[in-house]
């Protein structure tokens, strides 16, 4: 991983050096062109070396051809000998030589200057995407404040071991992944997860390297070495993603290589046709050389990677990792979206939603239930205890867990219990009609029920019912509406939970009842995803660990809350580093925009190439104009792709981190 990041830095340094060399050679080519033009304007074009103007003309154009042509010739020969690939550089050099042979030295020099300038600008522009990734590395501090025996020492981050304690002062970047030991305050995690507002941290909460501490002093126990931190993993994954080729990139590479051969052969055929049609020899060679230039597929070859690499770099800045260009293109064309329920649409955190007492006060019922449940580790018990915090609860003793049913305990010498209906039945406590009616109502709304009672047998009684439910993410419903508005045709929920609970959550987030699939085993999720694939491109959103099979079966697997979780980062094609579902429509919107830019670039590149080829074949298109159109078109598609580096979500907002409400409409799926 460390080697990957280091290699990226080395590649960027090498590219910068190459761009500097190219700019110097471009400058020499330009000066030579200016000198040659000056000699021609002084009336010395075609004159001997005896005159100063003639020498200026000769030396100027010679410098332009050497500085602009030799590097391109060298690169073309290397590619031909080592990769057996005919490059576009070779076409440009051949065209310049052909122009010189027919007496149009000026046009050949203009070609080499513009080609050299365009290559330099393209190299600089494409390096911008790597610089955007390397900027992530600047988020990682080089040193950490190591705490040993109460003393703080500044040490390199690479020297800090897992389990050691570091100190993070206010305003400092967190140097390593860890868990807060002491201190409480807010931390800006936006560089890692893309969350728009700082996150409150207290003892026991995780911290990610690269995030910025607020105003508190935090003691942190290190959980990962520097080479395996979330930030390091992010850098590695983005770097690897940029090396993966999307279908469009593979097409442009395939097209460029074969089309280059076609251009060379076509120019030879065109030359023969011109001569057979009686076109003067010099003009025929000139038009064939122009055809070499205008038909070269530079813009086509560069149009796709310019957009894909920019989008990959931009997405990483707002907390979304694509595993490559293929995942980016697929997410932008999703037809069916399938989501896991627990931990995806919900927060996997239970909360008390209803308290229904019978012959006892509401607060008294909560306090009593909390006293009985206090020693339980069950999520429902924890939700009840948290809700009752601040209430004066009686002292309970002798708590006994009844597996799968609940808990019993002694309060002031009397047995109290809290659990499901099976526990009441086991204790021989009958449920009166009003209790059964309330329980039925709560169950139909998808609540998990805890019956609270006293005694057993005929003397036992139910004191109340507490309804508990998983918390639906606030961003879930707006996110799904935004995705539907963006063109997703169908939204499906898959869960292992019971149908009643699943349908209740679905109704809350706007998923149709017929698109809810409950009580599924992991293998059944895989089968369902495979079946949905018949309707189009399928994206499955899950936690990246338990849903690994479904993530792999989908056209695009999206892992939620992947920050800090190596398994989640590896499991999916797309990783949302935060647990905010708002990131999903953002990622989808960026992918759709990138796909649109790719199409724009390809249409423009092919269109301008076709127009110039037609003008060259039917008339005498000046070589400098052909070069300007060719290189200008190439630069334009690069710049069009690079604008994705500044892409911003335009989904409308209602405050930090929240999607705006979309117009109310019947769910489309």
Residue whose C-alpha is closest to residue 408's, from 359, 460, 448, 362: 460
- The pLDDT-based confidence of 638 (bands split at 50, 70, 90) is confident
Each residue's pLDDT tens digit, 363-403 = 999 999 999 998 787 888 889 999 998 888 888 888 888 87
Same domain for 503 and 579, yes or no, is: yes
Q: What are phi and psi of 173, to 5 degrees?
A: -80, 145
Same domain for 602 and 549, yes or no, is: no
| pLDDT of res. 120 | 76
Same domain for 397 and 255, yes or no, is: no
Average pLDDT over residues 60-64: 88
Q: Determine, yes or no, domain membership for 233.
A: no
pLDDT at 437 over 70: yes
Same domain for 489 and 405, yes or no, is: no
CB neighbourhood size of 281 (10 A): 11
Q: Determine, yes or no, domain membership for 659.
A: no
Same domain for 600 and 581, yes or no, is: no
Q: Can you give the residue range of the structural domain that contains 582?
A: 318-344+473-593
Same domain for 109 and 248, yes or no, is: yes
The CATH number covering residue 158 comes to 2.70.150.10
497 included as an active-site residue: no
| pLDDT of res. 517 | 92
The Cα angle at residue 62 between residues 59 and 65, in degrees rounded to 5:
155
Q: What span, in angstroms and rounded, lies between the C-alpha atoms of 456 and 460?
A: 4
Look up residue 552 and give its two tokens: 């792999």
Average pLDDT over residues 331-343: 90
Same domain for 486 and 568, yes or no, is: yes
Average pLDDT over residues 581-606: 91
pLDDT at 515 over 80: yes
pLDDT at 193 over 80: no
Same domain for 465 and 480, yes or no, is: no
| pLDDT of res. 131 | 62
- DSSP string for residues in 345-407: IEEEEEEEEEEEESSS-HHHHHHHHHHHHTT---HHHHHHHHHTTTS-PPP-EEEEEETTTEE
The residue out of 548, 568, 593 marking a domain boundary is 593
Q: What are phi and psi of 325, to 5 degrees?
A: -65, -30
pLDDT at 251 over 70: no
| pLDDT of res. 583 | 87
Catalytic residue selected from 188, 330, 340, 497: 340
Which of 560 and 644 is assigned the larger pLDDT?
644
| pLDDT of res. 467 | 92
Q: In the structure, how many helices (H) and strands (E) does the chain have? A: 21, 22
Same domain for 9 and 106, yes or no, is: yes
pLDDT at 202 over 70: yes
Average pLDDT over residues 629-657: 74
- The pLDDT-based confidence of 428 (bands split at 50, 70, 90) is very high
pTM for the whole structure: 0.70
| pLDDT of res. 162 | 92
Each residue's pLDDT tens digit, 528-583 = 998 998 888 999 998 755 677 788 788 888 888 765 455 556 667 888 877 888 88
pLDDT at 662 over 50: no
Same domain for 63 and 129, yes or no, is: yes
Each residue's pLDDT tens digit, 462-493 = 999 999 988 888 889 999 999 999 999 999 99
| pLDDT of res. 566 | 58
Pairing of strands 490-494, 336-340: parallel
Q: What is the mean pLDDT of the chain?
A: 81
């Amino acid at each position: 991983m460390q080697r990957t990041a280091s290699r990226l830095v080395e590649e960027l340094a090498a590219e910068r050096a190459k761009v500097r060399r190219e700019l110097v050679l471009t400058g020499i080519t330009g000066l030579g062109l200016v000198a040659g033009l000056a000699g021609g304007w002084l009336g010395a074009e075609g004159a001997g070396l005896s005159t100063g103007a003639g020498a200026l003309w000769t030396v100027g154009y010679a410098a332009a051809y050497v500085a602009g042509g030799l590097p391109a010739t060298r690169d073309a020969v290397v590619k031909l000998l080592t990769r057996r690939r005919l490059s576009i550089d070779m076409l440009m050099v051949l065209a310049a030589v052909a122009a010189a042979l027919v007496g149009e030295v000026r046009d050949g020099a203009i070609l080499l200057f513009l080609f050299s300038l365009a290559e330099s600008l393209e190299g600089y522009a494409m390096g911008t995407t790597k610089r955007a990734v390397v900027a992530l590395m600047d988020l990682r501090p080089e040193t950490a404040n190591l705490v040993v025996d109460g003393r703080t020492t500044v040490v390199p981050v690479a020297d800090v071991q897992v389990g050691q304690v570091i100190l993070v002062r206010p305003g400092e970047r967190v140097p390593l992944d860890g868990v807060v030991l002491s201190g409480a305050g807010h931390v800006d995690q936006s560089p890692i997860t893309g969350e728009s507002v700082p996150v409150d941290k207290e003892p026991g909460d995780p911290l990610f390297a690269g995030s910025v501490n607020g105003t508190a002093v935090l003691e942190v126990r290190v959980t990962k070495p520097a080479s395996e931190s979330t930030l390091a993993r992010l850098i590695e994954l983005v770097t690897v993603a940029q090396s993966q080729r999307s279908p469009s990139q593979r097409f442009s590479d395939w097209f460029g290589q074969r089309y280059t051969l076609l251009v060379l052969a076509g120019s030879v055929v065109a030359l023969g046709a011109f001569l057979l049609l009686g076109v003067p020899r010099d003009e025929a060679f000139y038009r064939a050389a122009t055809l070499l230039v205008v038909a070269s597929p530079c813009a086509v070859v560069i149009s796709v990677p310019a957009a894909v690499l920019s989008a990959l770099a931009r997405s990483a800045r707002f907390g979304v990792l694509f595993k490559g260009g293929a995942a980016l293109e697929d997410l932008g064309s999703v037809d069916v979206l399938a989501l896991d329920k627990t931990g995806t649409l919900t927060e996997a955190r239970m909360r008390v939603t209803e308290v229904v007492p019978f012959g006892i006060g509401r607060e008294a019922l909560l306090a009593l239930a909390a006293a009985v449940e206090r020693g339980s580790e069950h999520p429902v018990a924890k939700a009840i205890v948290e809700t009752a915090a601040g209430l004066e609860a009686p002292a309970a003793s002798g708590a006994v867990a009844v597996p799968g049913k609940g808990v019993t305990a002694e309060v002031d010498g009397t047995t109290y219990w809290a659990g499901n209906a099976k526990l009441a039945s086991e204790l021989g406590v009958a449920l009166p009609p009003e209790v059964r009616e309330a329980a039925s109502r709560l169950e139909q709304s998808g609540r998990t029920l805890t019956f609270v009672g006293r005694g057993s047998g005929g003397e036992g009684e139910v004191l109340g019912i507490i309804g508990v439910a998983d918390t639906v993410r606030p961003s879930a419903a707006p996110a799904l509406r935004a995705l539907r508005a963006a063109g997703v045709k169908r939204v499906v929920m898959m869960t292992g939970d019971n149908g009643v609970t699943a349908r209740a959550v679905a109704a809350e987030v706007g998923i149709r009842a017929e698109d809810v699939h409950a009580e599924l085993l992991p293998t059944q999720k895989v089968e369902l995803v495979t079946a949905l694939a018949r309707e189009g491109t399928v994206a499955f959103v899950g936690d990246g660990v338990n849903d690994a099979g479904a993530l792999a079966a989908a056209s695009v697997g999206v892992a939620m809350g992947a920050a800090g979780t190596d398994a989640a980062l590896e499991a999916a094609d797309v990783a949302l580093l935060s647990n905010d579902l708002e990131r999903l429509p953002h990622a989808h919107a960026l992918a759709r925009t990138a796909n649109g830019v790719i199409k724009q670039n390809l249409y423009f590149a092919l269109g301008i190439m076709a127009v110039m080829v037609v003008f060259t074949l039917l008339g005498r298109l000046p070589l400098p104009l052909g070069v300007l159109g060719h290189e200008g078109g190439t630069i334009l598609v690069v710049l069009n792709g690079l604008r994705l580096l500044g892409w911003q979500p335009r989904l409308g907002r209602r405050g930090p981190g929240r999607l705006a409400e979309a117009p109310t409409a019947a769910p489309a799926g």
